[in-house]
Amino acid sequence: PPHLTDLRIQSHSFGDSDCGMSSSSKLLIRGGTVVNAHHQEVADVYVEDGIVVSVKPNIQVHDDATVIDATGKYVMPGGIDPHTHLAMEFMGTVTVDDFFSGQAAALAGGTTMHIDFVIPVNGSLTAGFEAYKIKAKDSCMDYGLHMAITKLDESVARDMEVMVEERGINSFKFFLAYKDAFMISDELFLRGLKKCKSLGALAMVHAENGDAVAEGQKRMMELGITGPEGHALSRPPELEGEATGRAIRLASFVNTPLYVVHVMSIDALDEIAKAKRSGQRVIGEPVISGLMLDDSKLWDPDFTTASMYVMSPPIRKSGHNRALQAALTTGVLQLHQAKFLLFTALLDDTQESRLHCALLELVGTDHCTFNSTQKAFGIDDFRKIPNGVNGIEERMHLLWDSMVESGMISVTDYVRITSTECARIFNIYPRKGAILAGSDADIIVLNPNSTFELSATSHHSRSDTNVYEGRKGKGKVEVTIAGGRVVWQHGELNVVPGSGRYIEMPPFGHLFDGIDKADTSYLSSLNAPVKRGKAAT
Ligand code: URP
Ligand code: ZN
Ligand code: ZN
Ligand code: ZN
C-alpha cells in the first residue's frame, strides 16, 4: 500500500476554494501559449471528464468549471518518460521508488505518463506481467509497460504473442550486458528480433558487450581498483559502441526497427548515425543523466557521493554529454550548429568534431533509484553497487533549462522530445503526446520566468540522495494535470492512488510502415536460383 505519510503530499478537501485544486471535471486553462510538436499558439484549452474538448482562443465556460490562468506561460503536453524502473528487483535488492512514489515524483516534475520495464519472473512473461500489474495498482498516473526478455525458448516466444495480442505490450528489451543475469546470446537476440518483427513489436536493446564487461571488471579488481571509479573503467565506451553496432547490424539483417535504450556515448552515437545515413530505422534514446552529467564524481573520495553515479552504461567523460545534446538539435539551428561544428573541427580533432545533429528523437530517464544504504552493498566491490540513478522528477526541468533556455532547441522541439515522439514511437499518439481535441488531458503549465532548484531535501522520490543535488535553473512546472485532474499546483501534490490507468500500446506502430514492402523488393531483387552443373571430379 502507498505510504502517504512518507511523501510530501498534502491532502486537500476537494473544492477548497483558496488553493484552486479541484476535482471538478470541467477545466479551462486560459490564455497560455499552447505548444504541440509542430505548432504553437496563444489559446485556451477546455477539458471535460479527462479529455481535451477544444483548443482555441476565448473559450466561454459556465462558472462550474475550474479556471487556471496561464497568461505568459507555456501549456504543453505532459512529459512521457519512455524508460523507468519502479519497484524493480535488481542486483539483490529493490528500487526505493515504487509506482506510487515514483509517479508522485514524476507528476511534481511535469511528467504525466511513463513506460516501465516488466522483468519476467523466473523467465516467465505472464508471471512477470501479473506481478507488475499488482505493483502498479495504486498508480496515480497513466503508465505503459515494456517487457524484458531474459531467456528465450518456445514457451517464451508463445508468451510474447500473448503479451502483444492480449496484454497491450508492443516492445521487448534485450540485454547484451549483465552476464549471468539478464544477458542473452546473439543467437537468442536474433531469434527475438525475428519474433518482434513478426508481431510488430519494437525490439529494444541494452547495448554493452557483457563478456567484455565481465573481463574488464576482473581486470579492475586485480589492479585493486574496487571503488565506484572501477565501474566506469571496467566498461568503457568502446564496449557500448561495439554492442550498439552489433545490435544495429543484426536488426538490419532481420530488417526490423531497433530502439537503443540509454545511449551514453559518442561511440554508440556514431553507430546510430551510420545506420540512419543508410536509411535504417534505428531510434536512439539518451537519458537525462547522460545528457547532463559527466563521470568526474565517480572519483569522489566519499563513497556515498561517488556510488550515487553508478549506472549502466556508465556516465561518460565530459564531451559525450555535449555530443548527446547536440544530437537532439535540429532544423533551424542546423546552420548555426554546423558553423560551430566546422569551427571546432578545424581547431582540433577531439570528440567535438563528431557532434551530430538530428540524430536522437526523444529523452528518457532510466529512473532506477537506490538509497545510500543500498549503494553501500558495494563499498568493497563496485560490482555490487546497485546500478541506477534518479531522473523521473528532474528530466523536464533540466531539459528546459539546458536546451530551451540556452537556445539549442525550440519550445516545439521540447514538446517533441519530451512527449510527442515517445507517443508516436509506442503507438499511442494522439491520445498521448498532444493537446488536441480528443487527447487525454495530460497537461503542464510551465512558467519560463520562474526558477527551480533540485535537492534530495525537496524532491518527491524516496531516495535519500539526488544526482542533481543543488542544481538550479530557469523554467518551472507550476501546474500538472493528469487525466483531467489538477495533481500539482502551488508546490503541492494532490494525487489519488488508483487513478492512474494502464495504457495498452498496440503493435505495428509507424516504424513498421513499409517493412513488408522492403522485404518484398529485397526478395525480388535476388536472382532466381543459379543452376550449376556437377563439379568435375
Ligand atoms: O543502471 C541502470 N541502467 N539500471 C537499470 C537497468 C538498466 O539496464 O536499464
Ligand atoms: Zn493547495
Ligand atoms: Zn539497460
Ligand atoms: Zn533501464
Strand-pairing partners, residue 51, are 48, 440
How far, in Å, is the centroid of ligand 3 from the Cα of 63? 49
Residue type for 360, please? L
Helix (H) or strand (E) holding 115: strand 111-118
Q: What is the pLDDT of residues 11-38, one digit of tens each?
A: 443 333 344 444 569 999 999 999 999 9
Q: Taking the model in full, what pTM does it have?
A: 0.93
**In whole angstroms, what is the distance from residue 110 CA to residue 442 CA?**
9
Order of strands, sheet of 171-175, starting from the edge strand that comes earlier in the sequence: 79-84, 111-118, 142-149, 171-175, 202-206, 258-260, 282-284
In 296-431, beta strands by DSSP E: none
Angle at 367 between CA 366 and CA 368, to 5 degrees: 100
Compute, in angstroms, the gap from residue 288 CA to the centroid of ligand 4: 12
The grid coordinates of residue 307 equal 556510488
Q: How many domains does the chain have?
A: 1
Q: Which atom of ligand 1 is nearest to the CA of 206?
A: 8
For ligand 2, a single-atom ion, the residues with CB < 5 A are 19, 21, 490, 492
Report if residue 53 sits inside a domain: no
Q: Which residues contact 495 (CB under 8 A, 6 or more apart)?
A: 9, 103, 104, 107, 140, 141, 487
Helix (H, G, I), strand (E, B) or coil at 147: strand
43 located within any domain: no
312 lines ligand 1 (CB under 6 A): yes
Q: What CATH number is given to the structural domain containing 322?
A: 3.20.20.140
pLDDT per position as a tens digit, 403-443: 999 988 999 999 999 999 999 999 999 999 999 999 999 99
Ligand 1 atom having least distance to the Cα of 178: 8
- CA terminus-to-terminus distance, the chain: 78
Residue 85 Cβ < 6 Å to ligand 1: yes
Helix ranges (DSSP H) in 59-172: 99-108, 125-135, 154-166
- Residue having the nearest C-alpha atom to atom 1 of ligand 1: 311
CA-nearest residue for atom 7, ligand 1, is 312
Atom of ligand 1 nearest to the CA of 177: 8
Does residue 306 sit within a domain? yes
The answer, yes or no, to whether any atom of ligand 1 lies below 6 A from the CB of 368, is: yes
Which pLDDT value is given to residue 58? 97
List the residue whose alpha carbon is closest to atom 9 of ligand 1.
366
Beta-carbon contacts of residue 464 (< 8 Å; ≥ 6 apart) = 371, 372, 456
Instruction: Please report which helix (H) or strand (E) contains residue 187, including its range.
Output: helix 186-199
Distance from the alpha carbon of residue 426 to the mean position of ligand 4, in angstroms: 17
Mutate to test the pocket of ligand 1, among 96, 311, 382 (most ligand atoms within 8 A of CB): 311
Q: Ligand 1: distance of its center to the CA of 477 in Å? A: 27
Kindly state the DSSP code that residue 192 receives in the 8-state scheme: H
Q: 3-state DSSP call for residue 392? A: coil
- Sign (positive/negative) of CA torsion 338, 339, 342, 348? negative
Q: Cell 539483490 appears where? A: 92
- Note the ligand closest to the C-alpha atom of 311: 1
CA–centroid distance, 312 to ligand 3, in Å, is 6
Q: Is 437 helix (H, G, I), strand (E, B) or coil?
A: coil
State whether the beta carbon of 235 lies less than 6 angstroms from ligand 1: no
DSSP structure class, residue 287: B
Separation of 337 CA from ligand 2 center, angstroms?
44
| Enclosing domain of residue 310 | 77-435+447-473
- Choose which residue among 91, 149, 263, 312 to substitute to test ligand 1 binding: the one with the highest number of ligand atoms within 8 A of its C-beta: 312
Task: Report which bound ligand comes closest to the CA of 13.
Answer: 2
Measured CA to CA, the distance from residue 482 to residue 442 in angstroms comes to 4
Q: Is the distance from the beta carbon of residue 177 to the nearest atom of ligand 1 less than 6 Å?
A: no
* 24 phi-psi bin (left φ>0, alpha ψ -120 to 50, beta other): beta
Closest of 324, 332, 289 to residue 310, by C-alpha: 289
| Cross-strand bridge partners of residue 396 | none
Atom of ligand 1 nearest to the CA of 117: 9
Model confidence pLDDT, tens digit, residues 136-166 = 999 999 999 999 999 999 999 999 999 999 9
Tell whether 17 is covered by a domain: no
Burial annotation 131-143 (CB, 10 A radius, 16+ → b, else e): bbeebbebbbbbb
How does strand 111-118 pair with strand 142-149? parallel
Q: Is the Cβ atom of 325 under 6 angstroms away from ligand 1?
A: no
Q: Are 115 and 82 in contact (CB under 8 A)?
A: yes
Q: What are phi and psi of 279, to 5 degrees?
A: 90, 5
Task: Ligand 1 pocket test: pick from 117, 262, 315 the residue with the most ligand atoms within 8 Å of its Cβ.
Answer: 262
CA of 496 to the centre of ligand 2 (A): 15
Q: Quick one: which atom of ligand 1 is closest to the CA of 83?
A: 9
Query: Are the C-beta atoms of 323 and 269 separated by less than 8 Å?
Result: yes
- Percent of the chain at pLDDT > 90 equals 85
Helix axes 210-222, 237-254, angle to 10 degrees: 170
Ligand 2 center to residue 449 CA distance, Å?
21
In a domain, 178, yes or no: yes
The verdict on the CB of residue 311 being under 6 Å from ligand 1 is: yes
318 C-beta neighbours (distance < 10 Å), count = 12
Nearest ligand, measured from the Cα of 365: 4
* Measured distance CA(436)–CA(19) in Å, rounded: 28
Neighbour-count burial of 119, counting CB atoms closer than 10 A to its CB (0-12 exposed, 13-18 middle, 19+ buried): middle
- Determine the 3-state secondary structure of 507 from DSSP: coil
pLDDT the model gives residue 535: 77
Low-confidence ranges of the chain (pLDDT < 50): 1-6, 10-22, 332-335, 342-353
487 falls within a domain = no
404 within some domain: yes
- Interatomic CA distance for residues 389 and 411, integer angstroms: 27
Distance CA 32, CA 153 (A): 53
Return the C-alpha cell found at 128.
512477470
In a domain, 165, yes or no: yes
The rounded Å distance from CA 366 to ligand 1 centre is 6
- Residue 213 Cβ contacting ligand 1 at under 6 Å: no
Write out the three cell numbers for 297.
564524481
Cα torsion angle, 182, 188, 190, 194, sign: negative
